[in-house]
Amino acid sequence: MKRALLSVAAALAAVCLPALAAAQFTLAPLPYPADALEPHIDRLTMEIHHGRHHAAYVNNLNAQTKNFPDLAGLSLEALQGRISAFNEAVRNNGGGHYNHELFWKLMAPEGQRGKPSAALEAAINAAFGSLEEMRKRFDAAALGRFGSGWAWLIVTPDKKLAVTSTPNQDNPLMDLPGIQRGAPILALDVWEHAYYLKYQNKRAEYVTNWWNVVNWNEVNARFAAAVK
Ligand code: MN3
């Protein structure tokens, strides 16, 4: 009897373990409660954005791993730099997973947001003249992106700051034509799903209010790592 149970357990493990092992990419929980960014970003938007939109990118990316053995063992970040070797589904969902994982970390609850470090502020002043001017350029990138996409503050390969934007779920790490490449240190999702419940068509109001929840501690850390 004991032997029979053990062989049942072994058979179950043989069926279940490969299924678990196949989930190469995983959805981490939000790094704060879903209502932690209120009133600027509302709880329901965060729940749907993370629990449905981001989750779908992760599931759809995992579904592609059986089509592309080369995906196995690639980190999410490494995948971005080799995205041209894959199909549209990997590009959209691999980009979607990376962009959202980053986006959640770049926002924080009140009291945990910090402010730009002296080093970051010096680099912003050198590139744009002032923090205010950088914000203006970033806002223009966010508002000027027709349809769905992202605005970015990046560290370029020559270690300078630049503002750029990408369509859909593309990002500045991707080896694609038309992308200004660099290490992202700040990112804003301007897909309607990021703001429509609270702001409807008022993307400008969403962008203005979003600056209130930026996690400068994370931006500072990413800047320091990128210029090292
Ligand atoms: Mn989104």
pLDDT per position as a tens digit, 163-176: 999 999 999 999 99
How far apart are the CA of 191 and the centre of ligand 1, in A? 6
Superfamily in which the 42-228 domain is placed by CATH: Iron/manganese superoxide dismutase, C-terminal domain (3.55.40.20)
What distance in angstroms lies between residue 175's CA and the mean position of ligand 1's atoms? Answer: 21
Cα 95 to ligand 1 centroid, rounded to whole Å: 11
Distance 123 CA to ligand 1 centre (A): 28
Ligand 1 centroid, distance to 220 Cα (angstroms): 23
- 108-150 pLDDT, tens per residue? 999 999 999 999 999 999 999 999 999 999 999 999 999 999 9
Averaged pLDDT, 45-63 = 98
pLDDT tens-digit readout, 175-200:
999 999 999 999 999 999 999 999 99
What is the whole-number distance in angstroms between the Cα of residue 11 and the centre of ligand 1? 40
Task: Describe the strand order of the beta sheet including 183-189 as a list of residue ranges.
Answer: 161-167, 149-155, 183-189
Q: How far is the CA of 57 from the centre of ligand 1 (A)?
A: 10
Measure 129 CA to ligand 1 centroid, in angstroms.
Answer: 30
- Residue 100 CA to ligand 1 center (angstroms) comes to 6
> Separation of 49 CA from ligand 1 center, angstroms?
6
Contact 76, 94 (CB under 8 A): yes
Distance 3 CA to ligand 1 centre (A): 51
Q: Give the start-to-end residue ranges of the domains of the chain.
A: 42-228
Average pLDDT over the chain reads 93
* pLDDT tens per residue, range 58-98: 999 999 999 999 898 899 999 999 999 999 999 999 999 99
Rounded distance, CA 172 to CA 179, Å? 6
Token digits for 145? 């992106």
Ligand 1 center from residue 167 Cα (angstroms):
12
Of 68, 103, 73, 69, the closest CA to residue 87 belongs to 68
Ligand 1 centre distance from Cα of residue 18 (Å): 30
Q: How far is the CA of 33 from the centre of ligand 1 (A)?
A: 17
Measured in angstroms, how far is the CA atom of residue 105 from the centroid of ligand 1? 13
Helices H, strands E: what count in the chain? Answer: 10, 3
- Give exposure, 64-96, as e/b (b: 16+ Cβ within 10 Å): bbeeeeebeebebeebbebbeebeeebbbbbbb
User: Global pTM?
Assistant: 0.90
Average pLDDT over residues 214-220: 98
